[in-house]
Each structure stands twice: as structure tokens, then as C-alpha cells.
Structure 1
């Protein structure tokens, strides 16, 4: 993650915002008093929130773990060709 001073950020606000939004890389802005902050795009923030929700939800994590186990063992559910067509929108 790149880091800039608050003065650099203020002087080049448009550039840094465009960079954060287009490259999906957060930017750390440092202040003299040591209270730094992070600039992140709204899309990336929402994605982070979804990830945190899943990681904090024990039931979902257990389902993911069980799914990974059956997948690696080759014993998971196999949809029919009709179901695959429906999923793919064919």
C-alpha cells in the first residue's frame, strides 16, 4: 500500500482518488500527529465488508469447509446437464 502525506493528498486529491478507484489499491494518508487514515473505493469497501461478514459467520465457514472437503474428495453434488444449462442461462 502506498503512503502519502496529508499535504500531498490535499494537493493532488483528484489524482489520488482516481488512482484508488481505478487500481483498487488503498492509499494510506499520514498526518503529522500520527493519526493516519486509509482511502479505499466504495466498491472495495463493500467487498471487504462482505468478506468480514462471511469470516465472522461460523455457520457459513462450516458450510464452506464441508464443501471444500466434498469437492476435494470428489463426493460433492453434481448437477444434471439441465441444471447446468439453467445456471448458465442457456
Structure 2
């Protein structure tokens, strides 16, 4: 199963060490942690859940913690969907 597409017009910005998701069409700004920003960047519709977990585990140096990362990805994507930042139709 693949992660959903990010909603068009939503971009990731980093400023002074902080990460933000900017909805350029709706005008909303969401401050997120770096992991959430990386998860959002993977929401392109062609990244599998397993691929996202592997990518994040490697990036975070968290080998052996894949199950916790999987749960975090699923929870974070669900929150993105609830906020309208990712398409709502795909459960992860």
C-alpha cells in the first residue's frame, strides 16, 4: 500500500531549524517536527508504506525500530488527512 498524495498547494518549509507545512491555497500554516516533515515529503502517491518506513529508519539511524516508525507514519498520515494536507481516500 502506498502513502497518499499530498494535497496540491501544500509545501514544506524550513526556517531557523523549524519545519512548517504551508497550505499556499488555503493560507494555513502548520508547525511540525522534522520527522513529520520527512513523512509529508514521502506523500507523493508512489512511496509504499514499507519504503517510507525503511527510508525513515535509515535517515534517523533507527534500525530495529521499524514497527514504532510504521505506527508513527500511519498516525501522522492520518492526521495529515484529517487536516486536509493529504488526500483522504487512502488508509495507510
Both proteins in one fold, TM over 0.5: no
> Which structure's relative contact order is higher, taking Cα pairs within 8 Å and 6+ residues apart?
2
Q: Which has the higher strand share?
A: 2
Q: Which has the higher helix share?
A: 1
Larger Rg: 1
TM-score (normalised: structure 1): 0.23
